[in-house]
């Protein structure tokens, strides 16, 4: 395991490999320089900000910049820029966070990882060819530990049961995330029958709970809603509960039938500094640093070797912990087929 201060030679090696591999991509992809000049400039990193981005900065970006001189510049992602680049257009991002359905839909406009960059062993091999910095996210229900002193909700049917577990439910107010899946599970659909998604049935189940929902449009609002008692239970990525835990707030996450998906970063063909981005990708794959990231965010590592650097209690807080046998991995292929329809149906449902 290389230390932060001795990893430069490894990073340079990745850049040289990247210089060869990227040159072989589509004509729209600029060839990477295989000289040291490939480490100049900056990497524009687009994500949703917040505590997750802060963890990336502290654990990965700072040592990378110290060793290479390349600055990683985080920016809050603009959906319009994101989709312009996913569709093969121009934009400022060198790498950007996305979902697995987008990887399926837009892979022809993504740059595959050069030879020598570790692939995630938590993903399908085809998808892993296009993904870097791939935290594993659990979309789960969470609540403050003192909200239900007699025992809190565990199943999605419990989430819909406002008599036994009173209070508002905090749910996404812009993107559907995995609300369709949660609704179907609450309605009694077995996990093995979840896909292909029955959107009509899901919307009918969402209608039942809508009077007891409050909607968030930014993830940090989940923490505000729970701590202010604006909602008693939330449906959100599990990292939002980790942020509460890190602030000293006792929070419970139900992992039973949590919807689990990778939230990868991808390199679009329009990225201007691909060589440096793939150099960063090698550091992002480091299992010990991934363990540091998981310890801080409760998001799972994309490299299973990272589990070796975590305690049993730390592993238990992660979506892809081996002990979480009741989680449900999302079906990216089916979600990709329904991509636009899910977006349209959820938007229509929100405004109805």
pLDDT at 116: 92
* pLDDT more than 70, % of the chain: 89
**What pTM did the predictor assign?**
0.84
In angstroms, the CA 333 to CA 196 distance is 10
Residue the block writes with tokens 């892979």: 107
* Beta-sheet pairing, 265-266 with 95-97: antiparallel
Structural tokens at position 292: 């540091």
**Which tens digits make up the pLDDT trace of 248-292?**
999 999 999 999 999 999 999 999 999 999 999 999 999 999 999
**Which tens digits make up the pLDDT trace of 76-127?**
999 999 999 999 999 999 999 999 999 999 999 999 999 999 999 999 999 9
pLDDT at 50: 83
**Which tens digits make up the pLDDT trace of 15-74?**
333 333 333 333 333 334 333 445 789 999 999 888 889 999 999 999 999 999 999 999
Residue the block writes with tokens 């930014």: 218
In angstroms, the CA 337 to CA 346 distance is 16
pLDDT at 39: 77
Confidence check: pLDDT of 164 > 70:
yes
pLDDT at 38: 54
Give me the mean pLDDT over the 317-327 stretch: 95
pLDDT at 37: 47
Q: Enumerate domains of the chain plus CATH numbers.
A: 8-135+263-312 (3.40.190.10), 137-261+322-351 (3.40.190.10)
**How many other C-beta atoms are found inside a 10 Å radius of the C-beta of residue 351?**
6
Element (H, E) at 76: strand 71-76
pLDDT at 10: 37
CA atoms within 13 A on the CB side of 30: 14
Give me the mean pLDDT over the 338-343 stretch: 95
> Which residues pair with residue 235 across a beta bridge?
141
pLDDT at 49: 85
**Which tens digits make up the pLDDT trace of 123-140?**
999 999 999 999 999 999
- Strand arrangement of the beta sheet that strand 71-76 belongs to: 71-76, 42-47, 95-97, 265-266
In angstroms, the CA 117 to CA 278 distance is 8
Instruction: Give the chain's mean pLDDT.
Output: 89
């Amino acid at each position: 395991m290389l230390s932060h201060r001795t990893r430069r030679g490894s990073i340079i090696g990745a850049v040289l490999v990247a210089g060869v591999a990227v040159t072989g991509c589509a004509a729209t992809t600029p060839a990477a320089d295989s000289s040291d000049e490939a480490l100049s400039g900056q990497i524009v990193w687009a994500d949703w900000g917040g505590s997750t981005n802060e963890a990336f900065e502290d654990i990965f970006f700072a040592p990378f910049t110290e060793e290479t001189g390349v600055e990683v510049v985080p920016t809050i992602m603009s959906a319009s820029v994101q989709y312009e680049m996913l569709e093969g257009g121009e934009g400022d991002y060198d790498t950007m966070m996305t979902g697995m359905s987008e990887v399926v839909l837009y892979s022809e406009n993504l740059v595959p990882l050069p030879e020598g960059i570790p692939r995630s062993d938590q993903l399908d091999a085809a998808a892993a060819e296009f993904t870097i910095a791939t935290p594993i996210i659990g979309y789960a229900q969470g609540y403050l530990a003192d909200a239900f002193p007699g025992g809190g909700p565990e199943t999605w049917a419990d989430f819909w049961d406002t008599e036994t577990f009173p209070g508002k439910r905090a749910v996404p107010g812009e993107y559907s995330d995995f609300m369709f899946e949660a609704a179907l599970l609450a309605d009694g659909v077995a996990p093995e029958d979840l896909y292909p998604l029955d959107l009509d049935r899901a919307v009918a189940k969402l209608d039942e709970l809508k009077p007891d929902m409050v909607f968030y449009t930014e993830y940090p609002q989940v923490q505000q809603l729970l701590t202010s008692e604006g909602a008693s239970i939330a449906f959100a990525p599990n990292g939002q509960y980790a942020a509460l835990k890190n602030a000293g707030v006792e929070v419970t996450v139900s992992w039973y039938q949590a919807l689990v998906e990778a939230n990868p970063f991808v390199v679009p063909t329009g990225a201007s500094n691909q060589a440096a981005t793939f150099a960063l990708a090698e550091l992002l794959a480091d299992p010990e640093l991934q363990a540091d990231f998981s310890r801080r965010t409760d998001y799972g590592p994309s490299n299973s070797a990272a589990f070796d650097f975590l305690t049993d209690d730390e592993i238990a807080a992660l979506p892809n912990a081996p002990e979480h046998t009741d989680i449900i991995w999302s079906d990216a292929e089916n979600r990709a087929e329904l991509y636009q329809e899910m977006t349209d149906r959820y938007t229509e449902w929100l405004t109805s």
